[in-house]
Amino acid sequence: MQEQIVKLLAGMATAGIALAAASVQASPEQDRQDLVKYYTSRYPNIKIENYVHGALAFDPDGKAQYDAVMEFPPFESELDQGRKMWQTPFKNGKTYADCLPNGGTMIAGSYPMFDDVKDTVVTLQDALNHCRTANGEEAYALSDMNTMGRLTAYMRTLSDGMPMNITVAGPKALAAYEDGKKTFYSRKGQLNYACASCHVQNAGVRLRSELISPAIGQAVHWPVFRGGDTLTTLQQRYDVCFRLLRAVPPAPGSTAMNNLEYFHSALSNGLPMKASVFRK
């Protein structure tokens, strides 16, 4: 895989990096608009709202296969287990719905968010774990798909269709956003490429047999069920990308990972969430 990446990206123009450099001082909304203009200029026949389907926006046949799979999703049992976890009361009798805004419905599109009290980015998984510990329960491991994975997958279905609405307000929140932006656009690892190398410059290009998805729209559908019922979170996907570039990935839930997710998610503001979907 690494050799294929080298062949694909060798001699690549630096359009995406230049785009970032030109907008270093831009607002988060300007960053999003700049990318929208970039993608629509490059692919004028693809509507931005179709990017919620990731690489499938460039592949009508693949999208038709996806639609067929989603008629009878192979991961319904996983969601059922997540539903049971969501509805099962804690030892004190309370539930997740008791300690999350709006009973946990139509809120997932606002995560990650910057918590001014904690002075840090809080992901949806962080919010769920805070709910658990506040009610006397142990926190779930972020990497445990049997617990946190299933719970998050179901909880996000309660916000299906909600427009992404990541808020970046205040100097500390902006600093966290800019840190995530720096990670996204900075070259890293032995291959010396950035997230933007694939998902900006080469969005819509084939890497071996797979199309590369655009950065806009990527954050609306995680965690996803890959190959049937194998749950994968967004930060786990970051981890894979770091390793493909032969770079040491930050730990899941670290400041670096959370800030990257914060920036990345803000790029999809306004697009509807597509919770619990199938990906190859």
Write out the catalytic residue numbers: 241
Q: Is 251 helix (H, G, I), strand (E, B) or coil?
A: coil
Count, residues in the chain: 280
* Amino acid identity for residue 63 in this structure: K
Q: Within a 10 A sphere around the Cβ of 131, how many other Cβ atoms?
A: 20
Q: What is the rounded distance in angstroms from the CA atom of residue 51 to the CA atom of residue 58?
A: 9
Containing H/E element for 61?
helix 60-71
The bridge status of strand 206-207 relative to strand 120-122 is unpaired
User: Rg (Cα) of the chain, in Å, rounded?
Assistant: 18
From residue 210, alpha-carbon distances to 62, 191, 204, 222, 240 in Å are: 10, 20, 9, 19, 16
